[in-house]
Amino acid sequence: MQEKQDTDLSREITLEPDHEFRFEVEFNTKVQIKLVKGTAEIFGTELAVGITYTFTGRKAAVYTWHGCTLDVKGTFLVEYTANETPMTSYLNTHLALEQLRQKAKIEHNLGPRVLVIGPHDVGKTSLCKILVSYSLRHGGNPVYVSLDTTEGSITMPGTVTATCISNIIDVEEGFGSSATTAASMGSFTMPLAYYYGFENPSENVKLYKLVTSCLSEAVRSRMAVDEECRNSGFIIDSAGLIDQVGYDIIQHVVENFSVNVLIVLGHERLYSDMSRIFSNKNVSVVKLSKSGGVVERDRQFKTRLQRSKIHEYFYGTPKCELSPYSMLVNYDDIKVWRVGDVIAPSSALPLGMEGSSNETQVVKVDNFDMCLHSILAILNADQDAHENRLLESNVAGFVYVSDVDDEKRKVTILSPSPGRLPKKHILMGSFKWMET
């Protein structure tokens, strides 16, 4: 593959003002893009002139406000130039948010609390990146909250996270996901994470609401002590929530995070329903259109994306490689928990009844075979913490169970860093992974 890329000749692409170069690259292919002249950005983050950026397994666009020339090299799955983009409306949205930030600064208040909602694959994460990057470029320190448990845009899939964005976003790695695992190696992006453990919020609504409430509490505490973050406010990315359960979750998030700007992306009915639900509630509901460049990602692509996120967590990226550490741990040295059996999926229960099963009750895992190939979250809970409070603990890190020896009562665990496990309580979700 390397050879293929090296023998490819580079080509020049010229973009007129307000145009973008959209591209898709497969997971096992590398392409390179260099800005030769002019200005350009990827989801709001500016590219530097003369620097070669490498992309693998990505779907993205290089956008230019004033025109530019790019030098591209490698085999793209899809590549084309487009001139119809919603970037002007995205910029106007940012400018309106910036006014709220200026007002918040003068009044020593909380900046805008923005929630982006819409169906799957309409560009919610991309819009959040653009808004966060523009705020950063304007001198702000926004907090990016990800409630999208499918993707793991910041760290492992299955988590809800909050990250104070104070440094330029790495365009090659999205939000610089792997960097979050190697904080000591020069990364500034350190998310606060709570483990939900499932892919879809509807799989266990009560637990999803619990972890989002814990996260909102943590964000509130951070805002109380950090003036920069307080004035900049936060941008919340969500999973595709357009059914009845989704509406219930949206209302929960709006209340918990005191959301005052609700952006509905690419869905007329959702916009109309939200305008009705939140009229008279001090929430501005804004409708934005979806970019024609947003790519629908099929199940297979999403699974590969999840697998590559997990791989990145332990092994890093070509730019910042990690050497994970394998260790033997006695059964008795750890306590593995999982959330009790969900009797019926929450979506199948009438609203208000979701709590009738033990959806937020942890049970201890005694049969370690269940953990084989599982991703486990190490909880930031004291050794003597009561089991009823464990789900409210944030995550210290993740490990992977590569082997279980029932005879010797030992598990083999892969960890991104050497040393003993920092905590004893460990939470298992539904994510499994095979090291390849």
Ligand X SMILES: Nc1ncnc2c1ncn2[C@@H]1O[C@H](COP(=O)(O)OP(=O)(O)OP(=O)(O)O)[C@@H](O)[C@H]1O
Among 15, 25, 31, 60, binds ligand X (CB under 6 A): 60
Calculate ∠ Cα 210-215-220, nearest 5°.
Answer: 125
Question: Of the listed pieces 122-130, 184-192, 359-367, 403-411, which binds ligand X according to CB under 6 A?
Answer: 122-130
Among 151, 172, 199, 248, binds ligand X (CB under 6 A): 151
Determine if 61 is a binding residue for ligand X (CB under 6 A): yes
Does 309 engage in binding with ligand X (CB under 6 A)? Answer: no
- Distance in angstroms (rounded) separating the CA atoms of residues 189 and 373: 28
CB 191 within 8 A of CB 161: yes
Query: What is the rounded CA–CA span in Å between residue 59 and residue 200?
Result: 22
Closest approach of Cβ 370 to ligand X, in Å?
A: 29
Residue 240 makes contact with ligand X by CB under 6 A: yes
List the one residue from 74, 111, 123, 429 that touches ligand X (CB under 6 A). 123
- Under rule CB under 6 A, how many of the chain's residues touch ligand X? 22
Which stretch in 192-200, 289-297, 323-331, 349-357 sits in contact with ligand X by CB under 6 A?
289-297
Q: Which is nearer to ligand X, 100 or 136 (CB)?
A: 136
Is 126 assigned a ligand-binding role in the annotation? yes
235 binds ligand X (CB under 6 A): no
CA–CA gap between residue 218 and residue 34 (Å, rounded) = 40
Torsion of CA 306, 147, 340, 210, to 10 degrees: 160
| Stretch in the footprint of ligand X (CB under 6 A) among 106-114, 115-123, 181-189, 389-397 | 115-123
- Which amino acid, one-letter code, is at 2? Q
Q: What angle do CA 356, 359, 362 make, to 5 degrees?
A: 130
> Is the Cβ of residue 239 or residue 375 nearer to ligand X in the bound state?
239
288 lies in the site for ligand X, by CB under 6 A = no
**Residues 263/115, Cβ–Cβ less than 8 Å:** yes
Residue 115 interacts with ligand X (CB under 6 A)? no
Q: Rg of the chain's alpha carbons, rounded to an integer?
A: 22
φ and ψ at 162, to 5 degrees? Answer: -135, 130
CA atoms of 54 and 330, how far apart (whole Å): 42
20 is in an annotated binding site: yes
Measured in residues, the chain has a length of 436
Residue 239: CB minimum distance to ligand X, A: 6
Residue 125 known to bind ligand: yes
Select 135 or 146, whichever has its Cβ closest to ligand X.
Answer: 146
123 labelled binding-site residue: yes
Indicate the residue whose CB is closest to ligand X. 293
Q: Is 56 in the site for ligand X (CB under 6 A)?
A: no
Locate all alpha helices (DSSP H) within 316-358, ordered by sequence: none
Phi and psi at residue 152, in whole multiples of 5°?
Answer: 70, 50
Whether the Cβ atoms of residue 336 and residue 418 lie closer than 8 Å to each other: no
CB of 59 to ligand X, least distance (A): 4
What minimum distance in Å lies between the beta carbon of 199 and ligand X?
A: 11
Our finding on whether 59 is near ligand X (CB under 6 A) is: yes
125 sits near ligand X (criterion: CB under 6 A): yes
Estimate to the nearest angstrom the gap between the alpha carbon of 396 and the chain centroid.
17
In DSSP notation, 137-162 reads HTT--PEEEE--TTT-SSSSTTEEEE
Q: Which residues are annotated as a binding site for ATP?
A: 20, 59, 121-126
Q: Which residues are annotated as a binding site?
A: 20, 59, 121-126
Site of interaction with ligand X (CB under 6 A): 20, 22, 59-61, 120-126, 148, 150-151, 239-240, 291, 293-295, 297
